[in-house]
Amino acid sequence: TQSTRPQRLLHAVQKNATRGDPRSVVKAIDNFCRQKEWAMNVGDEKGCILDSVVSEVNPVTVLELGTYCGYSTVRIASLLPPRAKIITLEFNPDYAKIARQVIAWAGLEDKIQVVEGPSGEWIPKMKEQFGVKTFDLVFLDHWKDRYLPDTKLLEDCGLLRKGTILLADNVICPGTPDYLEYVRNSPRYKSQYFKSHLEYTKAEDGLEKSVFLG
């Protein structure tokens, strides 16, 4: 039976990365996507912007919407202080299965909780299920049509605090116009656009960083 692209990406990690070395896992995935097959990881160019935001925020509690194969999950977790945690939501069970193995190869299982299912159903359960009070950082990288409704849900569920940072991938390509319009015009956010490129291509894309003002 034919393998899937996430399975081939996992095999590239197991073949080329060192167990317990998150940066080698990130490098192995980027090399696979540059040399073999494009895949929708945030990539190294936008990944460096992600790294700088994570390092600046120094979050204790992180929410990632959209795990895919765990590339950005590993990238973020490798920068977190010892007791910090990241909860990552993935709708697709096949992606979640691969991500758990990529995360295990990086040796970051203790910092990461992969949760399978729709973000719209899990966000309202964050407090009761995972003992979350508020998130310090939210990385939106799941589905363009869910960025705005899930942001409003996070607000309504009291999961954002004054100073929480929302960082959104793909605001240009594939594009999230309704989300951009909201965070750029709402008095409750201060937004900033980081121009970059779609992973592994020359097409324009960027990250939008928005501070929740409470």
Ligand X SMILES: Cc1cc(C(=O)N2CCN(C)CC2)sc1-c1cc(O)c2nc[nH]c(=O)c2c1
30 is a catalytic site residue: no
Beta strand pairing call for 189-197 and 160-168: unpaired
From 40, 54, 103, 154, residue interacting with ligand X (rule: CB under 6 A):
40
Per CB under 6 A, the list member of 154, 198, 209, 212 interacting with ligand X is 198
Q: What end-to-end distance do the CA atoms of the chain give, in Å?
A: 52
Rounded CA gap, 153 and 121, in Å? 10
Kindly state the smallest distance separating residue 75's Cβ from ligand X, in Å.
13
- Selected from 18, 21, 31, 38, the binder of ligand X by CB under 6 A is 38
CB 114 within 8 A of CB 99: yes
Cis upstream peptide for 124 (omega within 30°): no
What is residue 170's three-state secondary structure? coil
CA-based angle 67:56:61, to the nearest 5? 45
Is 141 a residue that touches Mg ion (CB under 5 A)? yes
**Residue in the shown chain whose Cβ atom is closest to ligand X:** 40
The footprint of ligand X on residues 65-84 (CB under 6 A) is: 66
Which span (28-36, 81-89, 118-126, 141-149) binds ligand X, by CB under 6 A?
141-149
Residues with a catalytic annotation lie at 141, 144, 169-170, 199
Q: Which residues contact Mg ion by CB under 5 A? A: 141, 169-170
